[in-house]
Chains A and B, each alone.
Chain A
Amino acid sequence: MTDGHGVLFGWDPLWVAAGLFIASYAAIMSEKLNRAVIALLGAGLMILTGVINQTSAIRGIDFNTLGLLAGMMIIVAVMRKSGVFQYVAIWSAKKVKASPWGVLLMLSIVTAVFSALLDNVTTVLLIVPVTLLITEELKVSPYPYLFSEIFAANIGGTATLIGDPPNIMIGSAAGLSFNAFLVNLAPLALVAFAVTFAIIYLIWGRKLRAADADRARLMAFDEGEAITDAPLLKRSLLVLGLVMVGFTVGHHFHLGPATIAMFGAALLLMLENVGRDAETQTHSVHTAFGEVEWITLFFFVGLFIIVHGVEATGLIDRSAAAMLKLTGGDLTVTALVVLWMSAIFSAMVDNIPFVATMIPLIKSMAPTFGGAAHLMPLWWSLALGACLGGNGSLIGASANLIVAGFAERAGSPIRFMIFLVLAFPLMLVSIALSSVYIYLRYL
């Protein structure tokens, strides 16, 4: 049912919405035009053609997802200036006496932990340059390190509500708390990490060698010098800690993640700027806001409206019914189909539009499975498939592309096919583990 005042030329709203949806997604996949621009154009056309009206379109935007993303982006933008990320990376490399395999493992653990607490793209943007510095000092190929960090970022991001955009969207739409993600996804993420890195050890780890002189040079790094602003570091860690506590207990006080993240961002900006003159404050706040990835946020806005338009016409309900017919309405089969389909799609196309579409589709399956409370296996399947599936190819996740860009600029390009040959089977291993996990724990 559309909630506009009739669709242009009296066309069937379902077909108009379907046409706009397919055209927008095809254009996003073609990468001929910026994805935020396409999403906003598609969203605008949903309203202009009368599929939905503006009031309904705004109702379709998930401000909890947007607020959480923007708040965390601001916190990271301020925190990164302290040099803490370089400090932790170098400290961890020295903890393993600069042994090449130890460094690979430690940097991957650091990447996974940061990815679980922050977003993956920011994490790799901060860790990869230090990795390139360390591998250059050790005179080892950066490829195994960068490959491992891609996997670590996507696996780490799987573990928490805030680790990866699909989780943020799923958590927000299904009302799942930070703790729910931690309890349900972190155990699998830990297992997937352990298995993945056991395989990486067999492939590369045991062969990595570095000369004693090169290791000594890395050991001589003074990580304390990486901290460029100690007071800012203390304030950032305080606020990040409070935000994490807020995520953990906020659900009990009916505080949404967006409120906690945005309040944390405001608090950190206040602590950074209190006592400064007006001009410095303006510059500092302007810089922090400038670091927000507006393309991502507007992309989300457009997608939410497009999907809401499709939902309003009843197309999502029909698709859900078709999928249930295919799976025979069996929860186990449906969960496994969602998991594997999400993984394959996410390896090949942007997982954000895919998840945005799957969310209302899964929601509309609630009556079949006995209510919203019985959809948990499907939500976890979607989250695991979408997040871990990103490891399947170089274009599977934004973080992968960021790492590939660094590798290219550093003169050690990561080739699409070479990456795919190892990454895709390794991703399938993590999805096979997820299948067993979902089956044993929820079905």
Chain B
Amino acid sequence: MTNRVIMNRETPSLRPEARIGEALDSLYRHRSYSLPVVDEEGRYLGMYGVRQILARLLPKAVIIEDGLDELGYVTDTLEQLRERLHSFRGERIGDALDHEAPAAGGDAPLLETLLHLYHGATDIPIVDPGDGALQGAITPWEILAALTERTAPE
């Protein structure tokens, strides 16, 4: 079985010039952890999601390699986190895309996509290997819907 059979062809996407605030709204609206980012011709560029936003919200000292493992002693409040979000929500997302996120072709085996999801990926973009166009996406919801013979939620 290939990805094409169950992929969501109506997957929402972002543009690289979108602002972090817009991306955040879009992620919330679609209840997504991350969304594919495409250029004006629909070519897949990378993923942008909650992880990239959290990387900006958290101190750099915990994000960097060999950084701090614990932050239990930092007592920032929700209000302070909102202030921090406000300070960068106008920045464009194109500078912080995840180019390493796994992507798959429509004719690639579905089990390989399941393996990516098992390893922690939340959204697998389905990309045409020829022209790099975004064709759809597979999330755990498509998998669960297919397994239980339901329709994936919007």
Contacts and interface: CB of A to CB of B under 8 A. Distances in A.
A223 interface: yes
Identify the interface centre among A133, A226, A410: most chain B CB within 10 Å of its CB: A133
B59 A409 contact: no
Contacts of A137: 59, 74
Contacts of B60: 132, 136, 410-411
Interface in B82-107: none
Contacts of B72: 222, 225-226, 228
Interface in A212-227: 217, 220-226
B18 interface: no
Interface string B50-86: 0000000001111011111010111110001000000
Nearest to A402: B66
Nearest to B71: A133
For chain B, give the interface size range. 10 to 19
A130 B60 CA distance: 10
B66 A83 contact: no
Interface residues of A, number: 23
B61 A226 contact: no
A406 interface: yes
B76 A223 contact: no
Nearest to A219: B75
Given A133-B61, A133-B68, A409-B64, A221 B80 contact: no
A378 to B, nearest CB: 38
A409 B55 CA distance: 13
A83 B64 CA distance: 18
Interface in A77-130: 83, 86, 90, 125, 129-130
Given A86-B68, A125-B66, A130-B68, A222 B73 contact: yes
A402 B72 CA distance: 25
A132 B73 contact: no
B61 A136 contact: yes
A357 to B, nearest CB: 32
A137 B65 CA distance: 19
Contacts of A224: 73
A410 B70 contact: no
Interface in B14-36: none
A225 B73 contact: yes
A133 B64 contact: no
Contacts of A221: 73-75
B95 to A, nearest CB: 12
A133 B70 CA distance: 11
A133 B69 CA distance: 12
Contacts of B64: 129, 132, 406, 409-410
A217 B70 contact: no
Contacts of A410: 60-61, 64
A86 B76 contact: no
A133 B64 CA distance: 11
Identify the interface centre among B62, B75, B80: most chain A CB within 10 Å of its CB: B75
Contact of A129 (B67, B74, B80): B67
Given A86-B68, A217-B80, A406-B66, A129 B73 contact: no
B121 to A, nearest CB: 24
Nearest to A131: B61
A411 B74 CA distance: 21
Identify the interface centre among A129, A220, A223: most chain B CB within 10 Å of its CB: A129
Nearest to B74: A221
A95 to B, nearest CB: 15
B113 to A, nearest CB: 32
Given A132-B59, A217-B76, A222-B75, A409 B65 contact: yes
Contacts of B68: 86, 129-130, 133
A220 B70 contact: no
A86 B70 contact: yes
Interface string A422-443: 0000000000000000000000
Contacts of B59: 132-133, 136-137
Contacts of A222: 72-73, 75
A409 B65 CA distance: 7
Given A133-B61, A410-B60, A411-B60, A90 B73 contact: yes
Given A133-B74, A228-B70, A406-B64, 13 more contacts: A90-B73, A125-B66, A129-B66, A130-B68, A132-B61, A133-B59, A136-B59, A220-B75, A221-B73, A221-B75, A222-B75, A225-B70, A409-B65
Q: 3 tightest A-B contacts by CB?
A: A133-B61, A225-B72, A225-B73
Interface of A: 83, 86, 90, 125, 129-130, 132-133, 136-137, 217, 220-226, 228, 406, 409-411
Interface of B: 59-62, 64-68, 70, 72-76, 80
9 contacts: A129-B66, A132-B59, A136-B61, A225-B72, A226-B73, A228-B70, A409-B65, A410-B60, A411-B60
